[in-house]
Structure 1
Amino acid sequence: MAGSKSVVLAALIANGAIAVLKFGAFLLTGSPSMLSETYHSISDTGNQVFLLVGIRYSGKSPNREHPFGYGKAQFFYSFLVSVLLFGIAGWESLKHGYDAILHGHSAAPGMVTFAGYTFDAVYVSVAVLLGAIAFESYAFVKAHAELRRQMNEYGWSGLVEAFRTTSDVTTLTAFTEDAIALGGAVVALVGIVLTRVTGNHIYDAVSAAVIGVLLMFFALALAWENKRLLLGESVPAGREAEFESIIADHPGVEHVDRFRTMFVGPTDILVTADVSFAADLDTGGIDDDIARIDEKLRAHDERVSFVYIEPEL
């Protein structure tokens, strides 16, 4: 959880500063790409706030209304982030880029005077985007390091498997946002430079539209990944088989009749099982065995937070 929070905080600081700089560059140049990037960074900054709210809210203790805790709050807020990323940043960027393609908007070639020096205003956009690439690279590396740590811990084969199986949607969302932000800044930089060199507005305009399409695509992918967890996804098949084997191999257990798991939070797993114990075990012996099975499951995976075993004699 601490790793996820630090990832989000790093992204929040980076995106907040970049949003201000990008908007200033847009005001100076009128570049469609810079406006798309401004939408993007403003949306990302707000999204990090939502993720932090989700982290804080999910830390509440279980109670009667929520016996398994509030861990799923992170799934909800991450889903909300994907909707906002699609609806605000993605759609607005695509719409503005499309309008620029039709009407010929591009970065203005005006001059700017600062501290006694006069220079092309387009260089402001270039400088801001280079700074954005540096900031986003830092945030991306931090998010990737946390995701890589989880990949090593749980034995995932790569980023694709991590994207499909991780329950830490906060880190996943931050990683995805940082990747899009980095890619968007590069696309905007290429479009603005090509427009400045060739004098053709289309490169800047198309870059703005491409940024919008990227945002909308990844927003849909994030929404889909959050949906599986909101609906109550079980742990990956391999890890679930390990849990079941721990129960089945315990002395006194004859058979595991029914077995279920579910993520009830990014770091909380619910394990339930109907277990047939040996007929010669008394009630006290079964209680002791259930307690030991509980300990084994928690020792095998620290995310196991709730264990319910129903004995079948």
Structure 2
Amino acid sequence: MASSTSVVLAALFANGAIAILKFGGFLLTGSPAMLSETYHSISDTGNQVFLLIGIKYGAQDANRTHPFGHGKAQFFYSFLVSVILFGIAGWESARHGYEALQEGGVHRAAGDVTLLGATFDPVYVNYVVLIGAIVFETYALKKANDGLSRQMDEHGWETYREAFRKTSDVTTLTAFTEDSIALAGAGIALAGVYLTRVTGNGLYDAAAALLIGFLLMGFAIALAWENKRLLLGESLPAPAESELRDIIADGDGVREIVDFRTVYFGPEELLVVADVRFDPGLDTGEIDDRITEIEAALTAHSSQVQRVYVEPE
């Protein structure tokens, strides 16, 4: 937990600094793409704040009002990220880009800037900020990809699409998607700013701003949809659930599985509930021993299994 918190804190300060630099570039050049990227980095910064809240709140111990703990807090705060931050930031970015296109892509031209005795075209500020953002986001994406790849190897998921649909680790999911969109957004902004600079046509810059807005809104919809399934109490995917069911069915003294259910109550935290009919020749003590063996087998099979309730019929 301490490691996750330190990573999120580092990303928080980095994204905050990048947002300030991007906004400075916008003030110097009036670039619509730089303003969209400012919205983007602000949403990334807010995302880290919500992730920190989710991690802290989700780490609280179970109590009477929350008997299974507070793990779903991360699902909730990740949902807020998608709706409030990326939805609003995406809409504002797209609106600003659209208005710039309607105006023919015209944006305020800035004269040369003098700093520490050196005079330069302020567009180079945009280049430096965006290239720096690309470098940072590439590193962050690699770290997020490493985490997602470990989950894919552990669960046997073959594609990123499958991992996106099946993972319950919304922190890694959000980080991976956020970093992918951030890298794409910075690249689009850099292309738009550069093309406008060399051609003198502001439509490229405005179109880049509009496209960045669409990317953010698309991310908001996708992330909200994935968190919805977890907030509503999704079960383990059918193939993995069948493996757990088979473990119970193969248990010593088990005659029949009357009912079997699984549900996520937190990131990588799975609840398994089963109604089992045991051999009628077993006494109460023997049934208790069989249940203990089943619980141990389930938790040994998957680290996601955190709670097991086996009810003898």
SS of 2:251's partner is coil
| Cα RMSD (Å) | 1.3
Q: Which amino acid in 2 is paired with 1:77? A: Y
Which amino acid in the other structure matches residue 68 of structure 1? F
Cross-structure match for 2:123: 122
CA distance in 1, matches of 2:14, 2:203: 29
**Aligned: 1:294 with 2:292:** no
* Structure-2 residue corresponding to 1:151: 152
Report the alpha carbon displacement of residue 15 of structure 1 after superposing the two structures with TM.
1.0
1:167-206 Cα offsets, whole Å, 9 max, x none, are 0001101111111110000000000110111111100001
> 1:10 deviation in Å?
4.2
The correspondence of residues 1-313 of structure 1 with structure 2, limited to 5 A, is: 4-5=4-5, 7-103=7-103, 104-106=105-107, 108-312=109-313
Which amino acid in structure 1 is aligned with residue 71 of structure 2? G
- Following the alignment from structure 1 to structure 2, what is the Cα–Cα distance between the partners of residues 119 and 248? 74
One-letter amino acid of the counterpart of residue 123, structure 1: Y
Instruction: Measure, in 2, the Cα distance between the counterparts of 1:25 and 1:53.
Output: 31
Instruction: Name the TM-score, length of structure 2 as normaliser.
Output: 0.96
The alpha-carbon distance between structure 1 residues 184 and 128, as it changes in their structure 2 partners (threshold 3 A), is same
Offset from partner CA, 1:47-96 (integer Å, 9 cap, x none): 11101110111111111111111000000000000012333210110011
Give how far 1:113 is off: 1.1
Residue ranges of structure 2 left out of the alignment (5+ in a row)? none
Q: Is the 8 A contact 2:87 2:216 kept in 1?
A: no
**Per-residue deviation, 1:4:** 4.8
Aligned AA (1:67):
P
Hey, what's the Cα distance between the residues in 2 that align with 1:160 and 1:233? 17
**C-alpha contact (below 8 Å) 2:110/2:122 kept by paired residues:** yes
Query: What count of residue pairs does the alignment treat as equivalent?
Result: 312
TM-superposed deviation, 1:132:
0.6
Secondary structure at 1:75 match in 2: helix
1:26 is matched by which residue type in structure 2? F
SS in 2 for 1:105: coil
User: Aligned partners of 2:110 and 2:197: how far apart in 1?
Assistant: 8
For 2:100 and 2:129, how far apart are their aligned partners in 1?
21
Higher mean alpha-carbon deviation, 105-114 vs 28-37, is at 105-114
TM-superposed deviation, 1:107: 6.0
The structure-2 alpha-carbon separation of the partners of 1:142 and 1:94, relative to structure 1 and needing over 3 Å to count, comes to: same
Contact kept, 8 Å, 1:14 with 1:139, in 2: the verdict is: no
Deviations 1:264-309 (A, max 9, x none): 0002100000101001000111011111111111111122111111
Amino acid at match of 1:239: A
User: Displacement of 1:7 after TM fit?
Assistant: 4.8
Query: Using the alignment, how far apart are the partners of 1:137 and 1:2 within structure 2?
Result: 23
Instruction: Name the CA shift for 1:241/1:5 in 2 (closer, same or farther; >3 Å).
Output: farther
Which amino acid in structure 1 is aligned with residue 127 of structure 2?
Answer: V
C-alpha deviation, 1:6, in angstroms: 5.2
For the residue of structure 2 that corresponds to 1:43, the secondary structure is helix
Check the 8 A contact 1:8/1:174 in 2, yes or no. no
- Alignment partners' CA distance in 1, 2:273 and 2:165: 23
**Take 2:80 and 2:224, find their aligned partners in 1: how far apart are those partners?**
8
Shift of 1:114: 1.5
Alpha-carbon distance in structure 1 between the residues aligned to 2:230 and 2:4: 17
Report the Cα distance in structure 2 between the residues aligned to 1:11 and 1:28, rounded to whole angstroms. Answer: 26
- CA distance in 1 between counterparts of 2:307 and 2:17 reads 41
Question: How far apart are the structure 2 equivalents of 1:186 and 1:130?
Answer: 8
Identity %: 66
Q: Distance in 2 between matches of 1:154 and 1:12?
A: 30
| Letter paired with 2:52 | L
Q: TM-score, normalised by structure 1?
A: 0.96
> In 2 relative to 1, CA 107–154 (structure 1 residues): closer, same or farther, beyond 3 Å?
farther
Contact 1:252/1:277 (<8 A) preserved: yes
